[in-house]
């Protein structure tokens, strides 16, 4: 499938792992005459007026919303109000500002945490239709609610004003420019940090949060970046045919799951570290399984290119970690 090129693209959140990958992909493939970016110290996206004025001044043809407050289980549990409010403010300001200015094309990035906690008892994977069919996982409920609101706001503008606002739901992402904060990171960077530190200190035993039995699906962020532009390149008619009026999001994942225990073993193998793995069951696991049904995105000629082993090996070899 041919990827469409644009006159001017605004990537909100270009410094993050997702945004920086999208920026690299766009530059490498020359997908825009101009790519607009702005640092957080220059524009606070939680400020409605400043966000509107920025959009008005720059007049992008397409807006890709990667900007968000993100973190792992610890951060979501500790700062629930921040995760809900900050994300609502960021996405509402951008999406409503685009509508007021007549910017007709948006791509909004959601999260697989939007799906119900107990789906795994009845289904093998999350289809787009599972949204709002059950209770959310408590450990990241505020963040999930914010992301659901962003999807529904895009969807509502489409229904009410015939806009072309699209949403994609990625699985757990990893790759260059990830967050390696000791408390606020996601599972892959957290484990990479933990095991590299343990190897340096010659620790014989390492404790990992949770039972180790829960499963997660992972996708390299560079595979997601390609999916972003393929989804944007679909005609409005094709996108509507793939989705429905009140389910306008599309899942993007690898289609494979791995347990946290096996992931821990894989990372240890890649960094050549032999230790005793112990699991702290007093710590929360989160949802038992989060596999996405990726039938819709696969129908667009997209498929993931980077295996989990290859992706993690690349991070270790290039030392793409910041701790």
Q: Which of 143, 157, 165, 239 is catalytic?
A: 143
Contact 169, 252 (CB under 8 A): yes
209: which residues sit within 8 A by CB, 6+ positions away?
A: 73, 279, 280, 283, 284
Sign of CA dihedral 117, 119, 125, 131: negative
The domain made up of 6-177+219-253+291-305 is a member of CATH 3.40.50.720: yes
- CB-based burial of residue 219 (10 Å sphere; 0-12 exposed, 13-18 middle, 19+ buried)? buried
Cα–Cα distance for residue pair 177/154, rounded to 1 Å: 28
> Which tokens in the block code for residue 120?
């795994």
pTM: 0.93
What are the sequence ranges of the domains in the chain? 6-177+219-253+291-305
Per-residue confidence in pLDDT tens, the chain, 323 aa: 789 999 999 999 999 999 999 999 999 999 999 999 999 999 999 999 999 999 999 999 999 999 999 887 788 888 999 999 999 999 999 999 999 999 999 999 999 999 998 765 555 789 999 999 999 988 889 999 999 999 999 999 999 999 999 999 999 999 999 988 877 788 999 999 999 999 999 999 999 989 999 999 999 999 999 999 999 999 999 999 999 999 999 999 999 999 999 999 999 999 999 999 999 999 888 778 889 999 999 999 899 999 999 999 999 998 877 77
61: which residues sit within 8 A by CB, 6+ positions away?
A: 6, 7, 8, 9, 103, 105
In whole angstroms, how large is the CA radius of gyration of the chain? 19
The string of pLDDT tens digits covering residues 209-230 is: 899 999 999 999 999 999 999 9
The answer to whether 239 is a known catalytic residue is: no
């Amino acid at each position: 499938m041919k990827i469409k090129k644009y006159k001017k693209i605004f990537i909100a959140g270009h410094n993050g792992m997702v945004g920086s990958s999208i920026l690299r992909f766009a530059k490498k493939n020359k997908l825009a005459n101009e790519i607009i970016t702005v640092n957080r110290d220059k524009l606070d996206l939680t400020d409605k007026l400043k966000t509107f004025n920025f959009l008005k001044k720059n007049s992008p043809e397409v807006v890709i919303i990667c900007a968000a407050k993100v973190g792992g289980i610890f951060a979501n549990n500790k700062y629930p109000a921040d995760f809900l409010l900050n994300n609502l403010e960021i996405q509402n300001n951008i999406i409503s500002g685009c509508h007021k200015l007549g910017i007709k094309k948006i791509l909004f990035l959601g999260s697989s945490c939007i799906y119900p906690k107990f789906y795994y008892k009845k289904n093998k994977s999350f289809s787009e239709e599972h949204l709002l069919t059950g209770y959310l996982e408590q450990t990241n409920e505020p963040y999930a609610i914010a992301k659901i609101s962003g999807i529904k706001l895009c969807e509502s503008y489409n229904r009410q004003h015939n806009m072309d606002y699209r949403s994609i739901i990625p699985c757990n992402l990893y790759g260059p420019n990830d967050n390696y904060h000791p408390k606020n990171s996601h599972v892959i960077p957290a484990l990479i940090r933990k095991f590299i530190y343990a190897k340096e200190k010659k620790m014989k035993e390492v404790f990992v949060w949770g039972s180790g039995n829960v499963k997660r699906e992972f996708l390299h962020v560079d595979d997601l970046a390609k999916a972003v532009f393929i989804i944007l390149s679909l005609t409005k008619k094709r996108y509507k045919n793939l989705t429905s009026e009140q389910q306008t999001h599309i899942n993007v994942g690898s289609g494979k799951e791995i347990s946290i225990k096996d992931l821990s073993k894989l990372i240890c193998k890649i960094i050549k570290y032999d230790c005793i793995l112990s699991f702290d069951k007093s710590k929360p696991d989160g949802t038992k399984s989060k596999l996405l049904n990726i039938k819709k995105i696969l129908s667009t000629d997209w498929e993931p290119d980077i295996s989990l082993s290859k992706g993690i090996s690349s991070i270790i070899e290039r030392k793409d970690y910041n701790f």
